[in-house]
């Protein structure tokens, strides 16, 4: 059985993330979407538990997806679960510059490999932070995030 971890802060999951997870399932039997971050930290729009719940809802139609969270080093999670592959999406050369040292550091630490999937052109400009900013000022975020996430963001900003 081949397993890969797709890590990120997912604050919140976007349609771009969802596309990467869906496509990763064509190459791995199981994909663990791993929300990284400290649960006691209050930074971010959603708590870690809320992010996990939103991902569970958004991926409920996909077979082979597991959702988990982790507060420590990513490679400690992959080692503990005997996983040798990470999956990341690349939207642009900026993402590449950001991801390259992390992939190399993770490989140096434990030998875990990072597989990069190029983001579909439809989702190239979508990010969690830009989506939140547009929503904060009342802009239209439909089509950028799954339906349930859309509603959850709206609810956050209506309070
Ligand atoms: O989607 P993001 O927020 O850019 O994801 C970055 C993430 C979560 C993959 C990275 O910050 C991470 O791996 N965090 C866990 C702590 C860790 O292992 N840091 C060292 C990375 S070399």
Cα distances (angstroms) measured from residue 46 to each of 22, 63, 100, 156: 23, 25, 27, 9
- Catalytic option among 56, 69, 84, 91: 91
- Read off the pLDDT of residues 103-121 as tens digits, 9 standing for 90 and up: 999 999 999 999 999 999 9
CA distance 79 to 92: 29
CA distance 7 to 23: 15
- Catalytic option among 41, 81, 108, 136: 41
- Read off the pLDDT of residues 67-105 as tens digits, 9 standing for 90 and up: 999 999 999 999 999 999 999 999 999 999 999 999 999
pLDDT band per the 50, 70, 90 thresholds, residue 137: very high
Distance between Cα 111 and ligand 1 center (Å): 16
Mutate to test the pocket of ligand 1, among 4, 6, 9, 68 (most ligand atoms within 8 A of CB): 9
CA distance 116 to 40: 30
What token pair was written down for 13? 């999951």
State if residue 9 touches ligand 1 by the CB under 6 angstroms criterion.
Answer: yes
Query: Which residue is closest in CA terms to ligand 1's atom 19?
Result: 73
Active site residue 41: yes
What token pair was written down for 22? 């869906």
Active site residue 60: no
């Amino acid at each position: 059985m081949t397993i890969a971890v797709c890590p990120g802060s997912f604050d919140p999951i976007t349609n771009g993330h969802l596309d990467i997870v869906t496509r990763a399932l064509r190459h791995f039997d199981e994909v663990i979407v791993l929300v990284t971050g400290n649960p006691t930290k209050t930074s971010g729009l959603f708590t870690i538990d809320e992010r996990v719940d939103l991902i569970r809802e958004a991926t409920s139609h996909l077979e082979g997806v597991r959702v988990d969270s982790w507060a420590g080093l990513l490679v400690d999670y992959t080692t503990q679960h005997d996983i040798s592959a990470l999956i990341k999406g690349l939207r642009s050369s900026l993402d590449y510059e950001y991801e390259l040292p992390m992939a190399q550091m993770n490989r140096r630490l434990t030998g875990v490999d990072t597989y990069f999937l190029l983001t579909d052109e439809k989702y190239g400009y979508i990010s969690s932070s830009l989506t939140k900013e547009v929503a904060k000022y009342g802009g239209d975020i439909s089509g950028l995030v799954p339906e349930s996430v859309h509603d959850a963001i709206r609810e956050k900003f209506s309070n």
